[in-house]
Amino acid sequence: MSEAKDTLLRLIALLRLIPREPGRIATTTLLEKLKDDGFSVSLRTVQRDLDRLSIPFALLRDESSPSFRWSLSDKAPIDLSAMDTPTALALYLAESHLQSLLPQSVLDQLGPQFRMARDYLDNLENNGLAHWARKVRAIPNGKSLQSAKIDTHVWNQTSTALVERKLQISYLSRSKAELKKLLIHPAGLVSRHSISYLIGSVEGYDDLRQFALHRIQQAERLDIPARSRVDFEIDHYIRNDLNSAAPIKQVELIADVSPQIAWLLGETPLSTQQSLEALGGSDWKRLRALVPENQETLWWLFGLGESIHVHEPKRWVDAIKEKLTKMGRLYMQATITDRETCKEAL
């Protein structure tokens, strides 16, 4: 029994050392690593183990060199490969980036993978390689709100109901500020900025609606098939319907932008259909881009302040002028109020 146990542990350790394709590892390197892990084996034993594991675990063998190189196929039924530096670093960056995007209940479920990556990077210090965790950071572009809190049970029930099951929820309506019990036919799930939405239709209705997960007070997945939506395509829905009462159109944005913004948009374009042309007698550039006609794009333009002069579409120009007028009045009124307060204090 002890010998059988040792063999099993050796086979598991061997599988953990084999990377998924396109990564590869030589038989001789596997032998050295197994010895480093405390296994007393010969090259012949490792070769037999690899032959034994090849079929059930879809191992790929590269015979282009004297010492064969091995990798796990993408079709492998299991992945016991050990953590490597690129994977650990990618997970570390992903964790810090996703903190402001995913609900805590989702992050908790990913916790074991994130902890494994952190432990791996921490252990690199003991090997004298590098302080990876101290050298990398992922930061959001601009100010980001913290993710809305989602009940763990609500997340579990909602995510499992996506597999074509009805979902009974108690939902806090933002417009009416009241709790409603609804029977939902789930169609999709979208995480946008700090809020996650369940996309689905209410029992008795065909139209798709959006339900913020943090406003679902209770949720229960029912063992009843949900209505099939063969016409639902989530990417199309995001482009045309998400957070919009009407389909989102594409419009041509024409604006003059400062050199700093022109440089930014040259590296990170607004869309695949964008051009930047030099303006005569100025270091500014003329921007033309096909963008969604939505509030988010308008907010982005307004946030650029004096670094952009919008020409088209005309309705956006009018909206920006109106906002500037209201802001001017607001700050003018605040200045007058402050002066009057100072006079009263004197």
Per-residue model confidence (pLDDT) at position 129? 41
Per-residue model confidence (pLDDT) at position 113? 76
H-helix segments, the chain: 2-17, 27-36, 43-54, 85-98, 104-126, 152-161, 234-240, 259-267, 295-303, 314-345
Q: What CA dihedral angle connects 41, 47, 51 and 54, to 10 degrees?
A: 90
Other C-beta atoms lying within 10 Å of the C-beta of residue 254 = 15
Per-residue model confidence (pLDDT) at position 94? 76
Q: Are 109 and 202 in contact (CB under 8 A)?
A: no
Per-residue model confidence (pLDDT) at position 244? 55
Distance CA 41, CA 306 (A): 71
Half-sphere exposure (Cβ direction) of 327: Cα atoms closer than 13 Å: 8
Per-residue model confidence (pLDDT) at position 144? 60
What's the Rg (C-alpha) of the chain? 29
Predicted confidence (pLDDT) at residue 127 exceeds the cutoff of 50: no
Distance CA 278, CA 291 (A): 21
Per-residue model confidence (pLDDT) at position 142? 61
Q: What is each CA distance from 261 to 223, 303, 306, in whole angstroms?
A: 53, 12, 11
CATH number of 154-240: 2.30.30.530
Distance CA 304, CA 125 (A): 43
Predicted confidence (pLDDT) at residue 338 exceeds the cutoff of 60: yes
Q: Which residues contact 116 (CB under 8 A, 6 or more apart)?
A: 83, 88, 91
Q: Domain 2-72's class?
A: mainly alpha
Q: Are 82 and 29 in contact (CB under 8 A)?
A: no
Q: Which residue has the higher pLDDT, 124 or 155?
A: 155
pLDDT tens-digit map of 175-203: 667 788 999 998 888 877 667 888 889 99
pLDDT tens-digit map of 268-303: 888 889 999 999 889 999 999 999 888 888 888 988
Predicted confidence (pLDDT) at residue 346 exceeds the cutoff of 60: no
Q: Which residue has the higher pLDDT, 159 or 89?
A: 159
Q: Is 128 left (phi over 0), alpha (psi -120 to 50) or beta?
A: left
Distance CA 152, CA 106 (A): 8
pLDDT tens-digit map of 204-259: 898 888 898 889 999 998 888 888 888 888 888 877 766 555 556 789 999 999 99
* Average of per-residue pLDDT across 157-173: 84
- The residues facing 218 across adjacent strands are 170
Fold entry, domain 250-323? Alpha-Beta Plaits (3.30.70)
Task: Choose the weakest-confidence range: 124-128, 223-227, 264-268.
Answer: 124-128
Predicted confidence (pLDDT) at residue 330 exceeds the cutoff of 80: yes
Instruction: Note the pTM of the prediction, 2 decimals.
Output: 0.52
Supply 34's token pair: 């197994």
Distance CA 261, CA 125 (A): 41
Order of strands, sheet of 59-62, starting from the edge strand that comes earlier in the sequence: 25-26, 69-72, 59-62
Per-residue model confidence (pLDDT) at position 261? 92
Predicted confidence (pLDDT) at residue 172 exceeds the cutoff of 60: yes
Half-sphere exposure (Cβ direction) of 156: Cα atoms closer than 13 Å: 6
* Average of per-residue pLDDT across 308-324: 93
Other C-beta atoms lying within 10 Å of the C-beta of residue 332 = 10
- Taking alpha carbons only, the member of 215, 210, 191, 199 closest to residue 103 is 191
* Average of per-residue pLDDT across 90-97: 72
pLDDT tens-digit map of 21-78: 777 889 999 999 888 878 888 999 999 999 888 888 888 898 887 788 998 887 766 6
Task: Choose the weakest-confidence range: 59-68, 126-135, 231-240, 323-332.
Answer: 126-135
Distance CA 31, CA 44 (A): 10
Task: Choose the weakest-confidence range: 113-122, 129-138, 334-343.
Answer: 129-138
Domain boundaries, the chain: 2-72, 85-134, 154-240, 250-323
